[in-house]
Amino acid sequence: MKLYVKNMVCPRCISAVEKTLSDINVKPIQVILGEITIDSELTDTQTELLKHKLELLGFELLDDTHKLQIEKIKLIIINHIHHLNDSRFIFSEIIANELNKEYSQLSKLFSATEGITIEHFVILQKTEKVKELLAYNQMNLSEIADLLGYSSVAHLSAQFKKTTGLTPSQFKAQGIHLRKTLDNL
């Protein structure tokens, strides 16, 4: 049986969910971003307890198919940009292939539910990744642009300024306090 959890965006989220499951004596087969696999159905009491404990941690147990699809779209994007460092592909193709649905249908659902397009969500995620990489000072803008699939440093800088109101240099001068958590984008 699979359970789906909203707002799982990093390895620490996985650890927190694993601990929560352990606290209610549920042994998962696997816990990955946004998804828990267990070998049997939860009782109503376990389900309610899990929902409550997850909500205390800022997560949400999903049961609506539309919410579930939105969360899967977000997780695909977050995983590729923040964890795989692989954003050179066409997100519309990956999302459609992974969810086995027409991209236009998923795009309409995402826009109607989230109030922004999938493309804008990708831009927001890339912007946060740029902020992270600038804060760590390990890569120059050219390397960051290449890593994130931008056609040029100028394109990255223009998109960054449009999204944040700052140039990458201005952001770097102001520091790490301007970053946002991934689940709040």
Query: If DSSP codes are grouped into helix, strand and coil, which group holds residue 5?
Result: strand
pTM to 2 decimals?
0.74
Q: What is the DSSP letter of 140?
A: -
Q: Give the length of the chain.
A: 185
Mean of pLDDT values over 110-120: 93
Tokens of 48: 């309610």
**The CATH number of domain 121-184, selected from 1.10.10.10, 3.50.50.60, 1.10.10.60, 1.10.540.10:** 1.10.10.60
Q: Work out whether strand 2-6 and strand 60-62 pair parallel, antiparallel, or are unpaired.
A: antiparallel
User: CB 10: neighbour CB atoms within 10 A?
Assistant: 15
The token duo for 94 is: 């990956």
Q: What are the residue boundaries of the structural domains of the chain, listed by start?
A: 2-62, 65-116, 121-184
Q: Is the pLDDT of residue 9 over 70?
A: yes
- CA dist 152 and 157 (Å) reads 9
Q: Give me the pLDDT at residue 176, please.
A: 59
pLDDT of residue 180: 59
Encode pLDDT of 139-173 as tens digits. 899 999 998 989 999 999 999 999 999 999 898 88
Answer yes or no: is pLDDT of 91 > 70.
yes
Block residue for tokens 């236009």: 104
Helix 91-99 to helix 118-136 angle (10° resolution) is 110
Give the fold, CATH level 3, of 2-62: Alpha-Beta Plaits (3.30.70)
